[in-house]
């Protein structure tokens, strides 16, 4: 499948197709509601169109990774953090507004830590429309690029894709 076909047919992209990060529905007044499931029918399309989008691993603590991701999200224009939860897993959920028409998109970042390695997964979902013209895949690529630079700047060893 060509990325263009995927861009016209799916609007929810994740780095973890087995256990996607949870995005909570944003209800009226900005309140967070129930979890929005990742559409199983999107898995094959995404796997074929965007094989490079996968979980990333960093030699850092989850709290250091959280700090880096939070700083990155705060610098994005037209973006606001809606949720931050820290426990066994760390979650951030942010709302992005598109540049041109100000459509709202949701992004969830999940951070897990084991043996000094933090695993970061990202999911980006458009609230409206069937396809996203590649916006969500590009957003995930851009976030990972910024995370790689940020964590490298604080002395972390970098990342690698999971197999």
CA distance 128 to 17: 21
Q: Where are the domains of the chain?
A: 3-161
Q: What is the pLDDT of residues 43-70, one digit of tens each?
A: 999 998 899 999 999 999 999 999 999 9
Pick the CATH number of 3-161 from 3.40.50.261, 3.30.2310.20, 1.10.10.10, 3.30.310.80: 3.30.310.80
Q: What is the pLDDT of residues 136-158, one digit of tens each?
A: 999 999 999 999 999 854 444 44
Q: What is the pLDDT of residues 101-124, one digit of tens each?
A: 888 999 999 999 998 899 999 999
């Amino acid at each position: 499948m060509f990325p263009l076909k995927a861009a016209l047919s799916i609007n929810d992209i994740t780095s973890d197709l087995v256990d996607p990060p949870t995005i909570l529905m944003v209800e009226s007044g900005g309140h967070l509601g129930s979890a929005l499931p990742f559409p199983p029918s999107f898995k094959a399309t995404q796997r074929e169109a965007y094989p490079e989008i996968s979980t990333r691993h960093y030699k850092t603590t989850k709290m250091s990774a959280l700090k880096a991701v939070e700083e990155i999200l705060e610098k994005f224009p037209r973006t606001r953090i809606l949720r931050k939860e820290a426990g066994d897993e760390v979650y951030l959920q942010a709302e992005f507004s598109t540049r041109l028409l100000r459509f709202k998109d949701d992004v969830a970042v999940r951070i897990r830590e084991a043996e000094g390695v933090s695993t970061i997964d990202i999911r980006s979902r458009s609230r409206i429309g069937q396809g996203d013209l590649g916006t969500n895949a590009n957003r995930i690529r851009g976030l990972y690029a910024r995370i790689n630079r940020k964590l490298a700047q604080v002395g972390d060893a970098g990342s690698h894709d999971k197999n």
